[in-house]
Amino acid sequence: MARYTGPKRRLSRREGTALFAKDASFLERKGAVAPGQHTGRSRRKVSEYGIQLREKQKTKRIYGILERQFAKYYEIASKKRGNRGEAILEFLETRLDNIVYRLGFSPSRAGARQLVSHGHVQVNNKKVSIPSFRVKPGSTVAILDKMLDNTQVRKSLDGTETLPGWLERKATVGKVLRIPARDEMEQGINEQLIVEYYSR
């Protein structure tokens, strides 16, 4: 199971936006300066391809997946009817690790991914340890009771953040009510640029 294990703040600096919650205050303080020794010296205009590439890279990094899997999502989305960009985001939003994060069981997607891969999450009363598992509408997602002793999980459950309208949660059990609408998915992503990148 491949995943990025390098410095996270570096990714936020490269994309010029806070990809992870902890990076927001840092970027406000230091500014969104791209990493590297010669940063800021080049004033070349970014090409159309460069803009598309950065949007694709940003989206991958927000959801914590690598190129091969992301390209596969596009390939599947391109065979579906309707908006390909929204179809890609739909695949990303209905991943099990993202739903665990959205339900408030974990403060970050990386933490949610760890909960899933370590076998602490059940889907329809069956243990699932695959973060990319696609959760269908009507499915229940529960975190095991033994994880209530975990400090991070308890802190997340006590949080007051409101759930998106396509999910509901009671204690440690959540339910996927329907496929999310575009305005309920991750904001700040221009999915059309991603489609243009792969369509070139």
Give me the CATH topology for the region 8-92+186-199: Ribosomal Protein S4 Delta 41; Chain A, domain 1 (1.10.1050)
Q: Between 11 and 131, whose confidence is greater?
A: 131
102-161 pLDDT, tens per residue? 998 988 888 899 999 999 999 999 999 999 999 999 999 999 888 888 888 888 888 757
* Sign for the pseudo-dihedral over CA of 93, 95, 99, 100: negative
What are the boundaries of each domain within the chain? 8-92+186-199, 96-178
On average, the pLDDT of the chain sits at 84
Mean pLDDT of 47-52: 91
**Helical (H) or strand (E) element with 100:** helix 96-102
75-112: burial string, b at 16+ Cβ within 10 Å, e else: eebeeeeeebbbbbbbbbbbbbbbbbbbbbbbbbbebb
Task: Let me know: does 83 contact 188? Beta carbons within 8 Å.
Answer: no
Indicate if the pLDDT at residue 43 is higher than 90: no
pLDDT over threshold 90, residue 166: yes
Those residues with Cβ within 8 angstroms of residue 66's Cβ, 6 or more apart along the chain or in another chain: 2, 3, 4, 60
- What is 96-178's CATH number? 3.10.290.10
**Which tokens is 191 given?**
């999915």
